[in-house]
Amino acid sequence: MPDVFPELPKVSFKFSLDVATVYAIEMALHAHKIEMRAEKQYFSEELLEEWREALSLPNLFWDLRAFMCGRGNLNVKVKRLGEHIILPLLQKSMKIYEDHWKAILPSLKNNVSPLLQAWKIHGKEILRGICSASRLEWNIKEIKVFFVEPIVDGHGDAFPEEGSITFEAAKAPLPRCLHGLTHEIAHLNTADIIHQEDIRRKVLAECANDLVAQQALIEAKILNKLDFDDPIRDIEKWKTESRQEFLYDPEELKQIVENWWSNHLESKKNIRESIKDLFEEALPKMLLKQ
């Protein structure tokens, strides 16, 4: 059982060249099925090909096997793999990206200024609202939010193991930014519901997490009412995280999710327990393609 801390986690916001470089490379390599904005490419095709080659399964396992034959314990051997394969490419990429990062940094800080001001005012209420909606206490002391270049027009990701988030510093309406940030922060509270092998369960867990975020914004008096259409719209985006495909009726699934959330709020269950009820109701309506 993870440790539970009586105080709300501290949230810090950072602009980090190394984190931003990895994100930019990741997006340039089209590592995910995400629609990106058409922007100038700052990395040469030669460098991107170096990354593809280094991270290809045949090359990665060839290098790993070579280091496994060397001296030291397992941790030392794996660390050596990173130092010899990943580190040189990352340093080369950072050197290329650094000038661009410095050039766009003032505009990125300007983009997120309203978001930071809103968080300064409402942040603690939002953190409390997340706990109230999920009925799960916080088990981390600090949340680190790393702003990155807007490449996917507002994308964010949470890493519960590190207590950190990457979030695009996009110029967007404040309600949209605050909702997106709260969604990612909520993932750090509801982390153990999202790790589902079945993409259908993962998608439903994403819907549940989004409703936790919306409910937190309502309790912080930022949002007026729940929008059940919002997570249902995002299902098509979340589906791309797996090769598994499934069929569903959006309106039927929306009604199931809406009824489940109403029952969750009325019950005394935490979201870890009540999401099992959602799985039981929704999965028969989400048929896997053969």
pLDDT band for 278, please (50, 70, 90 cuts): very high
Banded pLDDT at 4 (limits 50, 70, 90): low
258 residue type, one letter: E
Tokens of 48: 């991107």
8-state DSSP, 163: T
What is the DSSP pairing of strand 156-159 with strand 164-168? antiparallel
Give the mean pLDDT of 212-240: 88
pLDDT at residue number 42: 84
CB 11 within 8 A of CB 143: yes
- Model pTM? 0.90
For residue 160, give every residue at least 6 positions away whose Cβ sits within 8 Å of its Cβ, in sequence order, or none.
187, 188, 191
Give the tokens for residue 147. Answer: 């702003």
CA distances from 251 to 188, 229, 258, 285 (A): 29, 9, 10, 11
Whether the per-residue pLDDT at 39 is higher than 80: the answer is: no
**Region 71-85: what's the mean pLDDT?**
90
- Looking at the DSSP bridge assignments, the partners of residue 146 are 14, 166
Residue 34 has pLDDT above 90, yes or no: no
Q: Give the residues across from 168 on adjacent strands.
A: 148
Instruction: Give the residue-averaged pLDDT of 94-108.
Output: 96
Q: Which residue has the higher pLDDT, 23 or 243?
A: 23
- How far is the C-alpha of 279 from the C-alpha of 152, rounded, in Å? 30
Backbone torsion region of residue 248, taken as left when φ is above 0, otherwise alpha when ψ lies between -120 and 50, otherwise beta: beta
What separation, in Å, do the N-terminal and C-terminal C-alpha atoms of the chain show? 38
> Binning pLDDT at 50, 70 and 90, where does residue 5 land?
low
Name 263's Cβ contacts closer than 8 Å, sequence gap at least 6.
274, 277
pLDDT band at 239 (very low <50, low <70, confident <90, very high): confident
- Please report, rounded to a whole number, the percentage of residues in the chain having pLDDT higher than 70: 93
Q: 268: pLDDT confidence band, cut at 50, 70 and 90?
A: confident
Vertex 153: Cα angle to 130 and 54 (nearest 5)? 100
**What's the pLDDT band for 194 if we cut at 50, 70, 90?**
confident
pLDDT at 128 over 50: yes
